[in-house]
Amino acid sequence: MEPIGGYFELELSKGEHYHKDAIKLNTARNCFEYVLRVRHYSKVYIPYYTCEVILEPLRKLGINYEFYHINELMEPVSFPKLSRAEAFLYTNYFGLKQGCVELLAKKYGDYLIVDNAQAFFAEPIEGIDTFYSARKFFGVADGAYLYTKNRLEQEFENDVSYERMSHLLKRIDLGAESGYQGFRHNDDSLCNQDIKLMSKLTEAILSGIDYESVKQQRRENYSFLDKALSDSNLIQLEMDTAAAPMVYPYLTDDTLLKQRLIDNRVFVATYWPNVRENCAEDMLEYQLMDRVVPIPIDQRYGLNEMKSIIETI
């Protein structure tokens, strides 16, 4: 039986996971590996504009891959004909490309793999292998969700997360900057991990989130920024009625903007530096990596923070 009494644990609300019917694993890249292993693919088409961690399971399993280009709407330029042992992976960019996902699902059926790491709230399509990352949207050190109709026979042990939590706790006590190195260390520690089930700690945190409130706040922040910035934004991505985006992607020719925001403690990322290794400077994917400023719109912030960002821009 569970122990009774003694010292208290963290007080966490008990509710449901947003993706309660998914397989709960430790990382999104391991969700991808799970799909590759269970489907026995020999080759996968992947976008040039993607995170380097997508390559990790492909290289680990010795699976061939080929890059494809996207256009200004973040949609594939060409559509290769697949053999029975090949798959097409598409990234739901910024959580704004569900319409493209649905079109690709009609074209490729269950040979499509959907990377929803940037689209936590996008609905999975029946029969389409789809994975999500929790830590891109919430204060957890790890955790991912996988929808697939296929199952590996292997049994997996639970991951353990408590040693990965220092940057999250430091941010509360000491501020964002104090925990940044711990955040980077946690990122590095997730490389080349075995497939494991989601940790009990991560499960406990994720089952206590008010997901509807999160969706509403993200949508409000996105709409507010878009109303103010759309005329100067060089990329036009529409937010549909069901989307709750990860960030507001702002494409600009102002090469100093990203650093100016950081200097004003608006911490923006670069998606993804590894693109430099595979793309020439005149390629669209390189320009997206170099010039898209992903502005935070998440549930921690309201319209006052959005106004401050706009003033800085």
Residues 273, 285: Cα–Cα separation, whole Å: 11
Q: Once rounded to an integer, what is the mean pLDDT over residues 16-42?
A: 98
264-298 pLDDT per residue, tens: 999 999 999 999 999 999 999 999 999 999 999 99
Report the predicted TM-score, pTM, of the whole model to 2 decimal places.
Answer: 0.96
CATH for 23-206 (3.40.640, 1.25.40, 3.30.1360, 3.30.70)? 3.40.640
The rounded Cα 193 to chain-centroid distance in angstroms is: 18
Position with higher pLDDT, 117 vs 11: 117
Domain ranges of the chain: 23-206, 211-312
The domain 211-312 having CATH identifier 3.30.9.10: the answer here is no
- Euclidean distance between CA atoms 178 and 212, whole angstroms: 30
Pairing relation of β-strands 292-296 and 144-147? unpaired
| Tokens, residue 37 | 């292993």
**pLDDT, mean of residues 122-131:** 98
Dihedral, CA atoms, 177, 179, 182, 188, nearest 10 degrees? -60
Q: Does 248 score more than 90 pLDDT?
A: yes
Rounded mean pLDDT of the chain? Answer: 96
Order of strands across the sheet that contains 129-133: 23-25, 144-147, 129-133, 112-115, 86-91, 43-47, 64-68
Over 90: is that where the pLDDT of 178 sits?
yes
